[in-house]
Amino acid sequence: MTLPCTTLYEINYGDTKITAYSAKKTQGIPKHTHLYSHLVICTAGSLLIRKESVEKILLQNDAPISVKGNEWHELEALEDGTTFINIHKL
């Protein structure tokens, strides 16, 4: 079970929202869905992304992962000190 993590900051820039998170191992964003698509970028540590069609580990230098709107997904830190960013249109 993924425990909620800490939101570091949220920025609205034009029609884009950027949200940064910090998580300890087993923390992240529990399983959910929403209407909009977004990108997930791991900026430190390692992050497990579970979504309807795939399960993937995202590391600091990996390309962003895209999550489609209306697709259930969950983000879970695999180690302490994991940070990640979500980016989506408002």
CATH number where 25 lies: 2.60.120.10
pLDDT at 53 over 90: no
pLDDT at 52 over 90: no
Count of structural domains, the chain: 1
Q: Which residues contact 86 (CB under 8 A, 6 or more apart)?
A: 17, 18, 19, 21, 38, 39, 40
pLDDT at 45 over 90: yes
pTM, entire model: 0.95
Confidence of residue 6 (pLDDT cuts 50, 70, 90): very high
Range of the domain at 21: 3-89
Evaluate whether 6 touches 78 at the Cβ level (below 8 Å). Answer: no
Distance CA 30, CA 12 (A): 23
- What is the reported pLDDT for 28? 98
| pLDDT tens string 7-20 | 999 999 999 999 99
